[in-house]
Amino acid sequence: MRFKLGLTGSIGMGKSTTAGLFADLGCVVWDADAAVHRLYAPGGAAVAPMRAAFPSAVTDQGVSRDALRQIIQDDPGALQRIEEIVHPLVRQDRDDFAKAHADSICVFDIPLLFETGAEAEMDAVTCVSVPAEEQRKRVLERGTMSAEQLDQILARQMPNEQKCARADFVITTDTLEHAAAQVQDVVQAIQERIGDA
């Protein structure tokens, strides 16, 4: 029996590392960001509809995320149009993955799981979490964005406390060892649930 586990958490909470820990225990992992990269790559399913809607965003390399960021900055209403194109394609990619791994515990790594309503398609949801100060420190230490850009991203995401309250499992990613132990507990709980079904 397949089990669909949603994995979510705000930026800098350790979601990618946690997804890797699930994979280490034999779960198959679908990554929403990787799916978008596939859709935006040359020949990807999002290229033609994006070219029709936003011609300046498409190059020989596919859909340019930098160009999309600029388009959204110039026209905040563009974000909704982009999402209307991309979200159904991402959902299709996710469904195809689930069908291809029908006998596995599938972990769906989705940053905006609650924001997009995807939790309704999951059997359970895990949220990764660390205190806000640690989150901020991690993101800014990467050197890929300013404090202002981080604040803009956080403003678009559901607050961490709300995500944790809505999740079936919460994994604190303060240390790798602690996170790994919690992932093991979650997988064990799922295996017991599957066994009881």
CATH class name, domain 1-27+105-197:
alpha beta
pLDDT digits (tens, 9 = 90+) for 3-39: 999 999 999 999 999 999 999 999 999 999 999 999 9
- Contact yes or no for 38/44 (Cβ under 8 A): yes
- Contact yes or no for 128/9 (Cβ under 8 A): yes
> How far apart (Å, rounded) are the C-alpha atoms in residues 96 and 57?
27
pLDDT digits (tens, 9 = 90+) for 48-67: 999 999 999 999 999 999 99
Could you give the residue range(s) of every CATH 3.40.50.300 domain in the chain? 1-27+105-197
> How far apart (Å, rounded) are the C-alpha atoms in residues 159 and 72?
22
> How far apart (Å, rounded) are the C-alpha atoms in residues 195 and 189?
10
Q: What is the pLDDT of residue 197?
A: 57
For strands 124-129 and 169-172, give the pairing: parallel
Q: For 76-106, b where at least 16 C-beta lie within 10 A, e where not — what string?
A: eebeeebeebbeebbeebbeebbeebeebbb
What single letter denotes the amino acid at residue 40? Y
